[in-house]
Structure 1
């Protein structure tokens, strides 16, 4: 079984699994196959005809999909054995992937992300894994250090960082991993799954130009509406 098959937890399996089993398997495989640290987050609890976040906040902005403790980063593990133990105890916990360790992430609006993705594919740029979130954002996984360098890269391209909706996630931050579900909005999914071919991540410099251009174009279009 190759990496793409083992990590593709979003496809429909032949034998239906409970959601907790999918989360447990995914967390363990991210640690085992990709050597990514994983940390358990909050989860959704059913009650009174609806699901609420385990944090207890009625107005939680990211129900079932945010850190459960202040020390979430310290609870992250790169061990598949430990991950199975953690999710065995809290099987519905969301999966947080700390950035600034094995990778950073460049976060852009979904429309700009797909525009940039098409452009980079035409240019044969090697890409890493990419996620799509229920709030219509895309996260492009790149080498660590991108969060520090990205603003200057954007400036050198002639854009003011504040005017471009490109958000780098680095040390002290995280992204959500599939198949984490965010309330009733849906689940995080792979736009490009982790595979053997994208094990080696690109440097942010290879992606920022296309991403900044796409974000700037979308921003200009929005202002013109």
Structure 2
């Protein structure tokens, strides 16, 4: 049985403090073999939490790359990850897609509808994140970004009309417990477990995801 969170209730996750971020980033690299890289972080300024990038209108405060060359900075080494977060303990945890996994991005309402449908179909899920901006990202095997448009068309949907995006090479996802400013933290809708170490192919999940996104329009 896949461990999911019911409805939209928040799962208890660590606060975004230096030690938990560092240890969590190391654990992702060590236990899941995911590449990780540190992003921006939140800073207190005039009684408010602002993004370290300095942009007062930042769309993802404390949850986006801090450097343009982030793709070369990403590492699967737990030792290197520990060293990077020791330099900036408050940095967000970002995971590049297109390497050990791709991610299918859908609205939260469609995501929960799809999760319920997948459980009824007894599909094997990978980890799934839930972001404070009400998006869900389903982790699947790499290569999904190239497959999704044609798979969606074969199901009878027009890709551009569905709020369903595949994140592959050149993209990234924020991992728990990264915080989006004052909006809250990224959570696991389906936690990483030994049972979902082997990710599903996007072909296994695209039908319920496309159906849910079509219903959600």
Large movers: runs of 4+ above 2 Å:
10-13
Per the alignment, residue 195 of structure 1 pairs with: 193
SS in 2 for 1:127: coil
Paired residues for 1:139-154 under 5 Å: 139-154=137-152
C-alpha distance in structure 1 between counterparts of 2:39 and 2:205, whole Å: 29
C-alpha distance in structure 2 between counterparts of 1:11 and 1:217, whole Å: 30
C-alpha distance in structure 2 between counterparts of 1:123 and 1:37, whole Å: 31
Paired residues for 1:73-152 under 5 Å: 73-152=71-150
C-alpha distance in structure 2 between counterparts of 1:168 and 1:103, whole Å: 11
Q: Does 1:24 align with 2:22?
A: yes
C-alpha distance in structure 2 between counterparts of 1:163 and 1:175, whole Å: 23
CA-CA distance at 1:82 after TM superposition: 0.9
C-alpha distance in structure 2 between counterparts of 1:199 and 1:18, whole Å: 25
SS in 2 for 1:187: coil
TM-aligned CA distance change 1:204 to 1:161, over 3 Å: same
- From 194, 215, 218, the equivalent of 2:216 is 218
Aligned length: 208
C-alpha distance in structure 2 between counterparts of 1:152 and 1:170, whole Å: 15
CA-CA distance at 1:91 after TM superposition: 0.5
TM-aligned CA distance change 1:110 to 1:77, over 3 Å: same
Give a deviation string over 1:76-117, Cα, whole Å, max 9, x none: 010111111110110010111000000000000000000010
C-alpha distance in structure 2 between counterparts of 1:87 and 1:26, whole Å: 10
Give a deviation string over 1:166-213, Cα, whole Å, max 9, x none: 010000100000000001110000011111000000000000000000
Do the aligned partners of 2:13 and 2:177 also contact (CA within 8 Å) in 1? no
C-alpha distance in structure 2 between counterparts of 1:160 and 1:88, whole Å: 46
CA-CA distance at 1:63 after TM superposition: 0.5
Please give the root-mean-square deviation of Cα atoms over the aligned residues, in Å. 1.4
Do the aligned partners of 2:16 and 2:177 also contact (CA within 8 Å) in 1? no
CA-CA distance at 1:12 after TM superposition: 5.9
Per the alignment, residue 162 of structure 1 pairs with: 160
Do the aligned partners of 2:16 and 2:179 also contact (CA within 8 Å) in 1? no
CA-CA distance at 1:11 after TM superposition: 3.9
- From 170, 173, 181, the equivalent of 1:172 is 170
CA-CA distance at 1:20 after TM superposition: 1.0
Q: Which runs of 5+ in 2 are unaligned?
A: 4-10
